[in-house]
Structure 1
């Protein structure tokens, strides 16, 4: 025989903010730094050849910005 449920049953979900504490954030911090660094590296890798990103971001990096300045030989300049 089939048994039917006569009313809807539900569970209450505990609040998310009660679970976020400083020790919990500290325990996840290395993961956030690792994945955030990987994300930044990936964005930098895939946008390195785009002229808009070169002009806006990469040429303004203090030490490595000269890498994106074009170096042309004198014989390549038109007279």
Structure 2
């Protein structure tokens, strides 16, 4: 025979802040690091051609900053 549910049963969900402990945060750190790195890579990809970002951030990078510093030949410079 078919049994029907006469009313919707619900559970009360405990507050999130009560369940946030150090082991829980440690377990999520690899995910946050991966997604944070992907987010930074995406921002760097889409802002690489913007002069404001080049002057402010990219030219000040220790190793790769030379990529954004233009090196013009002396004959190409205006007098």
TM-score by shorter chain over 0.5: yes
Which contiguous aligned blocks of 4+ residues in structure 1 show a shift greater than 3 angstroms?
10-13
How big is the shift at 1:33?
Answer: 0.3
In the other structure, the counterpart of 2:44 is 44
Q: How does 1:11-30 map to 2 (within 5 A)?
A: 12-30=12-30
User: Which residue number in structure 2 is paired with residue 32 of structure 1?
Assistant: 32
TM-fit CA distance, 1:11? 5.5
Q: What's the RMSD between the two structures over aligned residues?
A: 1.9
Paired position in structure 1 for 2:67: 67
TM-score, L = length of structure 1: 0.79
Distance in 1 separating the partners of 2:52 and 2:44? 13
How many aligned residue pairs are there? 73
Runs of 5+ consecutive residues of structure 2 not aligned to the other structure: 1-6
Normalising by structure 2, we get a TM-score of 0.79
- Segments of structure 1 that go 5 or more residues without pairing to the other structure are none
